[in-house]
Amino acid sequence: MADRGHALSARAPPARLSWLGMVGFGLMLALLAVALVQARQFSLLRQALVSGDDFGTLTIFQAETEYLRLRDRWHHELDDQTAPDPAALRLRYAIWISRVQALHAERTRGLLDDEAEYRATLDQIDQFVGNTQAALGPQPTQSADRDFLVALQPALEALGTPLHELSQGAAQRAATLLEQRANTVRAQNQLGLGLTIFLSVLTLAFAAIALHQVRQLRERRVALEGLADNLRQARRDAEAASEAKSAFLANMSHEIRTPFHGMMGMLSLLRETGLTPRQIDYLRTATESADHLLALLNDILDMSQLESGRVTLAPAAVELRTLLRDVEALMRPQAGAKSLALHIDADPAVPERVLLDATRVKQIVFNLLSNAIKFSDRGAVVLDVRCAPGSRELAFVVTDNGVGMDEATLAHLFNRFMQGDSSRSRRHGGSGLGLEISRNLARLMGGDITVRSKAGEGSVFTFTMPLRIPPAPAAAAGARPLVGEPMPRLRVLVAEDHPVNRQYIAALLESLGHEAHFSEDGEQAVRSAREQPYDLVLMDLHMPGLDGVQATRAIRALPDPAQSTVPIVALTADAFEETRERCLVAGMNDFLTKPVSPQKLQTSLRRLFGAAIAPAPEPATAQPRPWDGQAQTLVDEGAIRMALEAMPAERLGGMIESFLDQGAETVERLRAAVRNGQPLDLRVNAHAAKGAALNLGLAGLAATATALQEGASHLPAVEIARLVQRYESQLPLTRQAVRALHIPGILWPLATSH
């Protein structure tokens, strides 16, 4: 019985809700009916105001009244005892004629029931008017003498009866219509009153049900609060049990690992003794099983320590790039065993020394890279360490071309003992704890791990943590700074189609002591790489004809191994992950985004040719100063300072002036592409202008060129034309903004032309 009562109470809310819905629906219908009644009453009232019944009746009455006045005046003119007054007679006649004309109106005609009688009366009036116009009209042609009046008096007298009958008919018709409207309005009022009563009853019913619902909800809330108290107590009990379990697991893991390490030591000693090939195979199997079991024990120990809160971090000053080299050294054999490319890179903005727990960071990165390699059968695994300018966050981004994951897998990926691909995990092993441990460690550091993935398209894991810079160590007295050994002068082939960019890269390479050779497109770059030896190729991606990716593939396909293995570094203004991946897959060794600073180029050279290259000098710091807000949007002062580290102010000023002088030609090429409907030409020219503007610190022109490049294929022509016009209008403003940078020793004076 109790169960049945519980079941009935569980089914009661839907019934109450259905009653509430029915009453609410009835209220809506009643409100709609009241609205319709009100609209009908408004329509009737409006019809009464505009129907013209009163006007028509008044018109007929006035016509009859003026007729009687005209007839009296007519008799007065025929009276021998009074003097005739033709002007007064004509005035009376004119007034009556104006009233007669109003009888011809449609709303006057619609007032009468008998159309034939009305028409006959009008015809009789029109005939009389036609006979009298000659003497009494506005332009009389004969005199209204006594003979004329006597002759037309019978016709005048004959008009009295039909006009009177017309007046009586109009009055009766108006009264009938008025009564009909009154009856209709009365019926509508009665209906509205009934609907109002019905609406009031429904409102009261709705209020009663709502009050009942509120009472039921209050009782349910009290019951839920009691249940919540019970759940809180149960949670406290469960947490206490979990802590006891974690402590037990930690103790047991320690107890198991102690003899286990002894067993693994004996296995390693056994390997040194003389064994048969069959025994060596048995030993290898036993060792692999022991390693796998030890990894499981380590995961369980880490998980139990995290749950019990016994994991503590030991942050210390770490050479981050040294840490990355250690990671690469350990992970490269694993990637090589599956013929996977492994790329590990740190953005130039990432500091050399950071404050972190190296052991725990390595543990997280190892886990992410190991998973990426485990679930990839092709392509590359990439670890990028990034730090946005001005950001206080360090990001380790691991990208792979593996099997990827669907939404269902992503939903439980970080759950305990869950594995992204159970079939592959069974082949490769794993406890299902690695990602949960890694995320818990990341959160313990104040960061997190996030993932983006699609089935069949690979995955991107991002481990973020707060960026903390250690204090600079105090220099010992008499200590001399360490300087890297000078390296031979590099022959660098630069594939770049924009002349200003070529000048800029040449200045950078010259400042670093290297020799620059240039090609204006991809085909020339391939031909130059085939004909002459180079130490390095800096490859722009967007070039006419053969682009940077195609040129890289062609160089990698050259038959001479020395030519085909030359290091190639991408130069592009596209900082997208897809572009980076496309370059690495094509065979490039590194990826530089514009604007290219001396620090970025030096970092890339250190990665490619070793640490013997001395690091580029740190950019000089200067106190920020207020300057015009519009100039800030047009010119990137930081980028200009960065360029000045590679060249004299006069040279950079000449390059900026040269670029701005070529602005008119650039605008003409852009407009020609718009006129001819060539989105590819528009995109190529806009990209070239964007890259040069970024290198020179001309932020406004770079932004407009970016909008043109990205919108070339989908924006309407009028919007493209507007962007081209904006680019043209920004040219003189940019020149003024650059010259307004009165920073001594940095960019002043510029060329004084124009």
Q: What is the pLDDT of residues 126-158, one digit of tens each?
A: 888 888 888 888 888 888 788 888 888 888 888
Residue 545 has pLDDT above 70, yes or no: yes
Same domain, 647 and 733: yes
Handedness of CA 478, 483, 485, 487 (dihedral sign): negative
pLDDT tens profile 189-220: 777 777 778 778 878 877 888 888 888 888 98
DSSP letter (8 states) at residue 275: -
Domain count of the fold of the chain:
4
- Judge whether 330 lies within some domain: yes
- Judge whether 471 lies within some domain: no
Strands 393-400 and 459-466: antiparallel
Same domain, 62 and 140: yes
- Judge whether 76 lies within some domain: yes
* Contact assessment for residue 483 and residue 613, using Cβ atoms and an 8 Å cutoff: no
Backbone φ and ψ for 233, nearest 5 degrees, come out as -65, -40
The one-letter amino acid at 703: A
Same domain, 454 and 336: yes
Residue 443 has pLDDT above 60, yes or no: yes
User: Which pairs count as long-range contacts for 206-212, CB under 8 Å and 24+ apart, including other chains?
Assistant: 206/20, 206/23, 206/24, 206/27, 209/16, 209/19, 209/20, 209/23, 210/20, 212/16
Q: What is the pLDDT of residue 348?
A: 83
Residue 12 has pLDDT above 60, yes or no: no
CA neighbor of 363 nearest in space, from 313, 309, 308: 313
Between 482 and 589, the more confident residue is: 589
Q: What is the pLDDT of residue 555?
A: 92
Give the pair of three-digit tokens for residue 67: 């007729």
What strand order describes the sheet that includes 536-540? 515-519, 491-495, 536-540, 568-572, 590-593
CATH number, domain with residue 713: 1.20.120.160
Which of 16-20, 66-70, 319-323 shows the lowest mean pLDDT across its residues? 16-20
pLDDT tens profile 665-676: 999 888 888 777
Strands 491-495 and 536-540: parallel
CA neighbor of 110 nearest in space, from 48, 168, 51: 51
Q: What is the pLDDT of residue 466?
A: 93
Among 466, 501, 525, identify where a domain stops. 466
- Judge whether 292 lies within some domain: no
- Judge whether 36 lies within some domain: no
Residue 746 has pLDDT above 90, yes or no: no
Separation CA 53–CA 740 (nearest Å): 82
- Judge whether 199 lies within some domain: no
Same domain, 322 and 456: yes
Among 142, 158, 174, identify where a domain stops. 158
Domain region containing 586: 491-609
Among 129, 158, 187, identify where a domain stops. 158
- Judge whether 30 lies within some domain: no
Q: What is the pLDDT of residue 716?
A: 61
Same domain, 456 and 324: yes
Between 594 and 405, the more confident residue is: 405
Q: What is the pLDDT of residue 519?
A: 93
Residue 477 has pLDDT above 80, yes or no: no
Q: How far is CA 669 from CA 288, 333, 665, in A?
A: 66, 51, 6
Task: Write out the H or E segment, with its range, that includes residue 486.
Answer: none
Same domain, 603 and 546: yes
Model confidence at 749, pLDDT cuts 50, 70, 90, reads: very low
Q: What is the pLDDT of residue 35?
A: 76
Percent pLDDT > 90 in the chain is: 11
- Judge whether 674 lies within some domain: yes
Separation CA 377–CA 394 (nearest Å): 29
Same domain, 705 and 655: yes
Between 480 and 706, the more confident residue is: 706
Same domain, 643 and 560: no
Q: What is the pLDDT of residue 6?
A: 45
Residue 11 has pLDDT above 50, yes or no: no
Q: What is the pLDDT of residue 424?
A: 47
Report the length, in residues, of the chain: 754
Mean pLDDT of the chain: 77
CATH number, domain with residue 364: 3.30.565.10
pLDDT tens profile 86-117: 888 888 888 888 888 777 776 666 566 557 77
pLDDT tens profile 350-361: 888 999 988 889
Give the pair of three-digit tokens for residue 498: 């924009």
Task: Write out the H or E segment, with its range, that includes residue 318.
Answer: strand 316-319
Model confidence at 634, pLDDT cuts 50, 70, 90, reads: confident
Q: What is the pLDDT of residue 684?
A: 82
Same domain, 639 and 498: no
Same domain, 496 and 633: no
Residue 71 has pLDDT above 90, yes or no: no
Residue 527 has pLDDT above 90, yes or no: yes
Same domain, 332 and 408: yes
Same domain, 523 and 572: yes
